[in-house]
């Protein structure tokens, strides 16, 4: 599907394997007001609780992707007793962004250790530095960015009802995350929007309806992969036939 970057061709610091991967970033935070055009159009209604994780589960089941939640990887790192655990835990409690090298190392390891070649990276990149460092280190550019759009009141209701024991599912941290989003995450969305890579989804609807919209984004891309595969097979068959004739 789409952009498949051979990370082995990306020079120093790239993934130390020849693995070719397709990556889709799944992003969304929330805001209330801003002077940014893009934010007025999109971000006032997109954020934590917009259902990114829920829809990623559906995409995994239907389109064969592997879901990598940057937040989940960081939370697992805390639980593992890593030397970075306390620092990560404090950052999450404050809604702050963990240093790029820590998150990228976790994502890189998860990609390398997984047999799949198609990944949904959920909740990353969170700022321009995350984005630039990820591209530099891994040589991977996303195929597109899936962006979930949901009214703030609904997101707040969902988050406060999520009840998964997350320390940041409280109104105080949610507001801090909002501030961080406005200052840091928005430029990432703008960057990808300027490249025509943002696919906006209305996430305020029930889960099933949201997934119908998600499918509309993924199905054509899936068709493209199948079509490319069929063309390759036909070309190969024609080449083999020509070889037979010349023999
Ligand atoms: N379309 C929906 N309608 C109603 N509730 C939903 C919908 N999608 C998700 N939820 C519920 O809202 C809560 C948050 O969803 P989810 O964890 O998928 O959001 P998220 O965007 O991944 O959040 P975060 O970025 O904070 O991890 C969950 O309890 C989930 O069951
Ligand atoms: O790339 C990332 C992703 C997450 N964080 C920190 O984790 C929390 C929770 O993130 P979720 O995506 O909602 O699971 C986030 O507020 C950040 O503090 C991060 O630093 N970098």
Helix (H) or strand (E) holding 53: helix 52-63
The residue whose C-alpha atom lies closest to atom 6 belonging to ligand 1 is: 51
The residue whose C-alpha atom lies closest to atom 14 belonging to ligand 1 is: 49
CA distances from 228 to 42, 59, 215, 235 (A): 33, 21, 20, 11
Question: Does residue 184 line the site of ligand 2, with CB under 6 A?
Answer: no
Q: What is the CA radius of gyration of the chain?
A: 20
pLDDT, the chain, mean: 83
What are the pLDDT digits (tens) for 11-23? 333 454 568 999 9
Flag residues of the chain having pLDDT under 50: 1-14, 16, 31-40, 42-45
Specify the 3-state DSSP secondary structure of 212.
Answer: helix
Query: pTM value?
Result: 0.84
Atom of ligand 2 nearest to the CA of 72: 14
User: How large is the ipTM?
Assistant: 0.97
Ligand nearest to the CA of 70: 2
Q: Is 162 annotated as a binding residue?
A: yes
């Amino acid at each position: 599907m789409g952009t498949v970057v051979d990370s082995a061709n990306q020079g120093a610091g790239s993934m130390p394997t020849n693995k070719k991967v397709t990556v889709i970033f799944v992003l969304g935070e929330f805001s209330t007001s801003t002077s940014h055009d893009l934010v007025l159009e999109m971000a006032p209604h997109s954020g934590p609780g917009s259902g990114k994780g829920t829809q990623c589960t559906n995409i995994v089941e239907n389109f064969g992707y592997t879901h990598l939640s940057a937040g989940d990887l960081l939370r697992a790192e805390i639980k593992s007793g890593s030397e970075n655990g306390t620092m990560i835990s404090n950052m999450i409690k404050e809604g702050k962004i963990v240093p790029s090298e820590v998150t990228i190392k976790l994502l890189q390891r998860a990609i390398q250790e997984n047999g799949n070649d198609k990944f949904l990276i959920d909740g990353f990149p969170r700022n321009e530095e995350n984005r630039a460092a990820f591209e530099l280190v891994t040589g991977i550019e996303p195929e597109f960015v899936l962006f979930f759009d949901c009214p703030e009141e609904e997101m707040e209701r969902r988050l406060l009802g999520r009840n998964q024991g997350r320390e940041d599912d409280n109104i105080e941290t949610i507001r801090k995350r909002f501030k961080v989003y406005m200052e840091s995450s928005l430029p990432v969305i703008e960057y990808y929007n300027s490249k025509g890579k943002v696919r906006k989804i209305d996430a305020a609807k029930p889960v099933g309806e949201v997934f119908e919209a998600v499918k509309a984004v993924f199905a054509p891309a899936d068709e493209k992969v199948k079509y490319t595969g069929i063309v390759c097979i036909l070309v190969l068959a024609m080449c083999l036939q020509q070889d037979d004739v010349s023999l």
